[in-house]
């Protein structure tokens, strides 16, 4: 099979083609696993963190990619949940132990044995991949393959972030950064919390215009002041200034959820502007969001099908994965990016 593999960590500023196209044997599904023929795989900001070592893979070479839509090509021994040719999706959660205190209360995203697709196990930048059958999800028929792929990470983690804000209908929500996840959150809020207004912070005018087109009440830059206080906010940026901006605009008792697997070091000095009285006092909260559970993915796919939530996306051939990643880093094209594989 064809695969774009990451042979070692790389700095994208110096190496614009960190992934290499190689020919590999088709993997064989083990007990309880399915072999999936990949149709499309979404491209995620987390891949940049994997390549540059902020959340490094356990081994090399590794096949990246955790927003996979494909069809069951073969079932392994004892795997009975899906039939050949059934359409399935895979997300960031690849496996968890199922037995620890976190798993037992449904917080499998916090399991110490948590394995991520495309980081700890081979992912979807390839023609085939394997996964435990209980970690694959049926894809609602309302979506095409390419429409479903970005939902599997950006959408599912966006859903979890929104859930963790504790939003109630009528609360004002700030979205700091407006990439694939945030634009799906905006659509979810418009559907589920119709009385809530959404305020979007982005450093690019194109993203701000896009936010307004999608129904945001207001859009401004990373240091802007919102016209009203925000009860809830989600930060999806890789930098630090937006945390100060969000806290500055947050209402008393408000909560900021940080949805970023790692922050970059570039503007860390922005944190020196943190003023306790202004930014944290009066019961403001900061909470991060880590990974996703199967419940998040399954509930989110159901909600997305009801709305229906169809992400804006741009397709690239598998061989152009490096270009897709660079354009993601440079924020060249709005919405999600999807590799077309079959
Ligand atoms: Zn992702
Ligand atoms: Zn566990």
Separation of alpha carbons 333 and 156, rounded Å: 21
pLDDT average, residue stretch 44-70: 95
pLDDT band at 279 (very low <50, low <70, confident <90, very high): very high
Calculate how far, in angstroms, residue 44's C-alpha sits from the geometric centre of ligand 1.
4
In the predicted structure, residue 95 carries a pLDDT above the cut 70: yes
Look at residue 175 in the predicted model and tell me its pLDDT.
98
Calculate how far, in angstroms, residue 25's C-alpha sits from the geometric centre of ligand 1.
26
In the predicted structure, residue 276 carries a pLDDT above the cut 90: yes
pLDDT band at 334 (very low <50, low <70, confident <90, very high): low
The ligand whose atoms approach the alpha carbon of 291 most closely is 1
Calculate how far, in angstroms, residue 47's C-alpha sits from the geometric centre of ligand 1.
7
Look at residue 274 in the predicted model and tell me its pLDDT.
96
Calculate how far, in angstroms, residue 152's C-alpha sits from the geometric centre of ligand 2.
21
CB neighbours of residue 106 within 10 Å: 11
Calculate how far, in angstroms, residue 134's C-alpha sits from the geometric centre of ligand 2.
14
The ligand whose atoms approach the alpha carbon of 115 most closely is 2
Q: Please tell me the CATH code under which domain 2-138+312-340 is placed.
A: 3.90.180.10
The answer to whether the CB of 51 falls within 8 A of the CB of 125 is: no
Calculate how far, in angstroms, residue 91's C-alpha sits from the geometric centre of ligand 1.
8
Calculate how far, in angstroms, residue 93's C-alpha sits from the geometric centre of ligand 1.
10
To 10 degrees, the CA torsion angle through 289, 122, 3, 259?
Answer: 0
Separation of alpha carbons 68 and 91, rounded Å: 7
The ligand whose atoms approach the alpha carbon of 149 most closely is 1
- The residues facing 218 across adjacent strands are 199
The ligand whose atoms approach the alpha carbon of 114 most closely is 2
Classify 70 as helix, strand or coil.
Answer: strand
Classify 333 as helix, strand or coil.
Answer: coil
Look at residue 333 in the predicted model and tell me its pLDDT.
64
The ligand whose atoms approach the alpha carbon of 67 most closely is 1
The ligand whose atoms approach the alpha carbon of 48 most closely is 1
Calculate how far, in angstroms, residue 247's C-alpha sits from the geometric centre of ligand 1.
25
In the predicted structure, residue 332 carries a pLDDT above the cut 90: no
Look at residue 152 in the predicted model and tell me its pLDDT.
95
Q: Does domain 156-288 have CATH number 3.60.20.10?
A: no
CB neighbours of residue 168 within 10 Å: 11
Calculate how far, in angstroms, residue 216's C-alpha sits from the geometric centre of ligand 1.
23
Separation of alpha carbons 302 and 140, rounded Å: 8
The ligand whose atoms approach the alpha carbon of 151 most closely is 1
Calculate how far, in angstroms, residue 112's C-alpha sits from the geometric centre of ligand 2.
6
Q: Is the peptide bond before 61 cis (omega within 30 degrees of 0)?
A: yes
Calculate how far, in angstroms, residue 270's C-alpha sits from the geometric centre of ligand 2.
36
Q: What is the CA radius of gyration of the chain?
A: 20
CB neighbours of residue 225 within 10 Å: 8
What percent of the chain has a predicted confidence (pLDDT) above 70? 99
Calculate how far, in angstroms, residue 97's C-alpha sits from the geometric centre of ligand 2.
4
pLDDT band at 312 (very low <50, low <70, confident <90, very high): confident
CB neighbours of residue 285 within 10 Å: 14
pLDDT averaged over the chain?
95
Calculate how far, in angstroms, residue 273's C-alpha sits from the geometric centre of ligand 1.
30
The ligand whose atoms approach the alpha carbon of 42 most closely is 1
Calculate how far, in angstroms, residue 24's C-alpha sits from the geometric centre of ligand 1.
24
Calculate how far, in angstroms, residue 113's C-alpha sits from the geometric centre of ligand 2.
6
pLDDT in tens, 173-209: 999 999 878 989 999 999 999 999 999 999 999 999 9
Calculate how far, in angstroms, residue 282's C-alpha sits from the geometric centre of ligand 1.
34
The ligand whose atoms approach the alpha carbon of 103 most closely is 2
Look at residue 205 in the predicted model and tell me its pLDDT.
94
pLDDT in tens, 221-271: 999 999 999 999 999 998 999 999 999 999 999 999 999 888 888 999 999
Structural domain boundaries of the chain? 2-138+312-340, 156-288
pTM > 0.85: yes or no: yes
């Amino acid at each position: 099979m064809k695969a774009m593999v990451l042979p070692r960590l790389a700095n994208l500023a110096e190496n614009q083609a960190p992934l290499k196209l190689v020919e590999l044997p088709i993997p064989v599904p083990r007990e309880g696993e399915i072999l999936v023929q990949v149709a499309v795989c979404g491209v995620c900001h987390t891949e940049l963190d994997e390549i540059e070592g902020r959340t490094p893979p356990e081994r090399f070479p590794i096949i990246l990619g955790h927003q996979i839509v494909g069809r069951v090509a073969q079932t392994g021994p004892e795997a009975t949940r899906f039939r050949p040719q059934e359409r399935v999706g895979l997300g960031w959660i690849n496996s968890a132990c199922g037995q620890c205190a976190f798993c037992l209360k449904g917080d499998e995203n916090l399991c110490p044995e948590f394995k991520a697709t495309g980081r700890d196990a081979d992912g979807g930048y390839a023609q085939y991949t394997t996964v435990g059958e209980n970690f694959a999800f049926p894809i609602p028929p309302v979506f095409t393959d390419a429409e479903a792929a970005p939902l599997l990470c950006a959408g599912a983690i966006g859903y979890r972030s929104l859930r963790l804000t504790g939003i109630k209908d009528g609360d004002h929500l700030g979205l700091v950064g407006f990439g694939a996840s945030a634009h799906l959150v905006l659509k979810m809020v418009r559907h589920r919390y119709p009385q809530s207004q959404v305020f979007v912070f982005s450093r690019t005018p194109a993203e701000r215009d896009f936010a307004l087109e999608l129904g945001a009440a207001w859009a401004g830059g990373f240091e802007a002041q919102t016209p009203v206080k925000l009860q809830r906010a989600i930060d999806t940026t890789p930098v630090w200034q937006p945390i100060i901006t969000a806290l500055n605009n947050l209402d008393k008792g408000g909560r900021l959820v940080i949805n970023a697997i790692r922050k970059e070091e570039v503007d860390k000095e922005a944190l020196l502007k943190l003023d306790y009285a202004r930014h944290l006092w009066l019961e403001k909260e900061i909470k991060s969001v880590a990974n996703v559970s199967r419940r998040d993915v399954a509930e989110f796919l159901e909600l997305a099908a009801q709305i229906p939530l169809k992400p804006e996306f741009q397709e690239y051939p598998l061989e152009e994965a490096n270009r897709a990643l660079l354009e993601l880093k440079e924020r060249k094209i709005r919405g999600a990016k999807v590799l077309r594989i079959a």
